[in-house]
Amino acid sequence: MAKVLIIDRSKSVRNILRERLRYEGFSAEAAEDDRTAAELCNKVAFDLILSDTGCKVPDTGVPFIALSDERSIDSAVEAVRNGAEDYLTKPIDMNRLLQSVHRVVDHPASAPAAAPASRRCRRAHTPPTQPIIGLSPEIEHVRQLIEKVAPCDARVLITGENGTGKELVARALHAGSHRAGGPFVEVNCAAIPSELIESELFGHERGAFTSAIKQRKGKFEQADGGTLFMDEIGDMSLAAQAKVLRALQERRISRVGSDRDIEVDVRVIAATNKDLRREIERGNFREDLYHRIGVIVVHVPALREHAADIPLLVDHFLRTIGGEYGTAPKEIDAEAVAALQRMRWTGNVRELRNAVERLTVLSGERITAEDVRLYC
């Protein structure tokens, strides 16, 4: 049973969080100030601390989530720079808090320590799925949709430009569902030739075709009991679309070379960077399939539409990249962050992440506005 310490000056907040966490199966203790928290930490090996930003977190190396009365980018960045795993504002959204608690407790990651220069360009272990970063209204809307939609089995279509984080949204939907303990299987529909799509999705029997030397399960079977994420579904051929439609309608598939139907229990989440309604008008996408996959549509905004989140994203990437390289996170000047905010980012969050990694490698002791001008 994971142990959680709550540090908050408000007695009502402490009591509410403690009772809810205990109800959810956690062992929870509460402290009203720094001294009491330190004493508890000396007695109990906590797995996570929930701390009001007005309180000092005991220096024990235990991961913590910051809880704040202040809703601002600057306070969020400061909390993250101080080592917070996440930053939540009061009144606390309990569903989001529980998601963050489970993410930290279920996927513990060792804190990155400074490493010798000889290791700076060697990749470390990549951490598990990252949280959705941002406090802007646009990102809050996406987060709220995820919280509402995740628990049900409705099919979801995620739209947005390349690099906006559609896969991250799909993984969050899976993690918040009753299928979280099942597999999350991803397939890039654009990367599979039309002649192989049936075998890739539905599997094949031995001898079904020349190179089928053994039986193989397809993506639908692999995802049984879990989630199948069909990325770039707008690039799938019409012939392949018809086969997927049948699988969704009947909830069963048959392997290539077999006449036996196999029932599958799969939640399908699809994603595309195309306007599927326009593709329907052009004859490139089936309207019946669109209505099957688009029960709920979640649009992920382009980075330029929520540029206010760039400071948070930059700070998050600096810490993540530092962990991957085995180094302490590199510091960045406020002028450099402002320069990054003014850029267009046609490649969206993915492009920003690459830019931050480039700046980490090529800049000096600190990342300056001049570094941004030279390398971005």
Condensed to tens digits (0 to 9), the pLDDT of residues 328-351 reads 899 999 999 999 999 999 999 999
Q: Are strands 203-204 and 216-217 parallel, antiparallel or unpaired?
A: antiparallel
Residue position matching structure tokens 């989630």: 227
Say which residues have a Cβ less than 8 Å from residue 67's Cβ, sequence separation at least 6: 8, 13, 50, 51, 52, 53, 88, 89, 90, 92
The listed range with the strongest mean pLDDT (8-22, 49-63, 355-369) is 355-369
> What pLDDT is recorded for position 199?
80
Q: How confident is the model at residue 237 (pLDDT cuts 50, 70, 90)?
A: confident
Say which residues have a Cβ less than 8 Å from residue 32's Cβ, sequence separation at least 6: 7, 8, 9, 11, 14
Query: How far apart (Å, rounded) are the C-alpha atoms in residues 371 and 365?
Result: 11
Whether 69 and 90 have beta carbons less than 8 Å apart is answered as: yes
Q: Residue 303 pLDDT more than 90?
A: yes
Condensed to tens digits (0 to 9), the pLDDT of residues 346-372 reads 999 999 999 999 999 999 999 999 999
Q: How confident is the model at residue 99 (pLDDT cuts 50, 70, 90)?
A: confident
DSSP collapsed to 3 states, the chain: CCEEEEECCCHHHHHHHHHHHHHCCCEEEEECCHHHHHHHHHHCCCCEEEEECCCCCCCCCCCEEEEECCCCHHHHHHHHHCCCCEEEECCCCHHHHHHHHHHHHHCCCCCCCCCCHHHCCCCCCCCCCCCCCCCCHHHHHHHHHHHHHCCCCCCEEEECCCCCCHHHHHHHHHHCCCCCCCCEEEEEHHHCCCCCHHHHHHEECCCCCCCCCCCEECHHHHCCCCEEEEECHHHCCHHHHHHHHHHHHHCEECCECCCCCEECCCEEEEEECCCHHHHHHCCCCCHHHHHHHCCEEEECCCHHHHHHHHHHHHHHHHHHHHHHHCCCCCEECHHHHHHHHCCCCCCHHHHHHHHHHHHHHHCCCEECHHHHHHHC
> What pLDDT is recorded for position 118?
33
Q: What is the mean pLDDT of residues 232-241?
A: 90
Residue 176 structure tokens: 């918040």
Output Rg (C-alpha) for the chain, integer angstroms.
23
**Domain architecture of the chain: domains with CATH:** 3-108 (3.40.50.2300), 119-132+303-375 (1.10.8.60), 155-294 (3.40.50.300)
The whole-chain average pLDDT of the chain stands at: 86
Q: How confident is the model at residue 120 (pLDDT cuts 50, 70, 90)?
A: very low
Q: What is the mean pLDDT of residues 265-293?
A: 96
> What pLDDT is recorded for position 257?
79
Q: How confident is the model at residue 125 (pLDDT cuts 50, 70, 90)?
A: very low
Say which residues have a Cβ less than 8 Å from residue 111's Cβ, sequence separation at least 6: 61, 63, 83, 323
61: how many CB neighbours lie within 10 A of its CB?
Answer: 8
Of 37-51, 72-86, 172-186, the one with minimum mean pLDDT is 72-86
